[in-house]
Amino acid sequence: MSHHGSTEETEEHDLGLSHDLPRIMARRGLLGLLGGVGAAAALSACGSDDTTSSTSGSTTSGSSTSGGTTQGGPGTPPDGGGAIGGDTSLEVADGEIPEETAGPYPGDGSNGVNVLTESGVVRSDITTSFGDASGVAEGIATTVRLKVYDLNGDSVTPLAGAAIYLWHCDREGRYSLYDDEIVGENYLRGVQEADDEGNLTFTTIFPACYSGRWPHMHFEVYESLAKATSADNKLRTSQLALPEDVCNDVYATEGYEQSVSNLSQLSLESDGIFSDGYSLQMAKVTGSVEEGYTVSLNVPV
């Protein structure tokens, strides 16, 4: 298969602001102090075109559950759980998107298959499989809008030319490439390049809530499309959280039945990833079941 990040395609301007992304040793400025909505507002004031209002991100008061993945029933991911892919030694400054585990199903070469080297992975619509696969992920239509920033001291600059690899589970809580039922599919995975303002968009479906994890999406940030070919090159690995009220509305629809039960046993505080804080990872969501949803998140690195 052809490689989407060939050397010939790499131009100096593609590297842009991220060519020598500074390793910020400390950031104790406005963004870190405000957190969450305040941080998003501060970023918006610095040039974000994301003006959507935030929905409630309240937590459930369900029983405490393990943050690890489980197996053995509907709405649960396949075998092979474990925390891999997160660089615990990475220096993350205040206000930057937190570093998180990529989980056991990244498809980035760090745990088996590497979908990033396959022709067709650079796409906005990730609802269908590509290449030799033809599966389509069913679910509530969802648009994901991300805006990548470079934080340097108190400077907030759009990270033009950066790339993001986004992946998440399907309506049944399964991950393509890994779950036995869809091991031959590669849907709900894709790479996009940020424009000059750091914006990029994916078309997808709303993910399930599987046992043991709060509803979420995974993503990795790369400095360019040419670099987005292996986990070894990533700048940051993180996850976005989805607000409870929206999840409840989605999971009341056909096909998401198992997610209702799974979510009732979770809270953000009991989740193994978001329990240490999620203000910078809680996405803003607008829309409806009938018209589809738009999920928005600022991604400062």
Provide the pLDDT confidence category of residue 184 given band limits of 50, 70 and 90: very high
Cβ atoms 169, 207 nearer than 8 A: yes
- Whether 16 maps to a domain, the answer reads no
The domain spanning residue 278 has which CATH number?
Answer: 2.60.130.10
- Whether 234 maps to a domain, the answer reads yes
Look at 123-127, 149-153, 192-196 and tell me which has the smallest mean pLDDT.
149-153
- Whether 176 maps to a domain, the answer reads yes
Q: Euclidean distance between the first and final Cα of the chain, in Å? A: 31
- Whether 205 maps to a domain, the answer reads yes
Tens digit of pLDDT for each residue in 83-94?
Answer: 444 454 677 888
Tens digit of pLDDT for each residue in 15-49?
Answer: 333 333 333 223 323 333 333 333 433 343 333 33
**Backbone phi and psi for residue 204, each to the nearest 5 degrees, phi listed first:** -150, -160
- Whether 38 maps to a domain, the answer reads no
Cβ atoms 90, 99 nearer than 8 A: yes
State which residues form the domain around 291.
141-300
- Whether 287 maps to a domain, the answer reads yes
Cβ atoms 162, 211 nearer than 8 A: no
Cβ atoms 8, 225 nearer than 8 A: no
Distance CA 51, CA 278 (A): 20
Number of domains in the chain: 1
- Whether 168 maps to a domain, the answer reads yes
Reported pTM: 0.76
- Whether 69 maps to a domain, the answer reads no
**Backbone phi and psi for residue 274, each to the nearest 5 degrees, phi listed first:** -90, -5
What dihedral do alpha carbons 61, 84, 153, 36 form, nearest 10°? -20
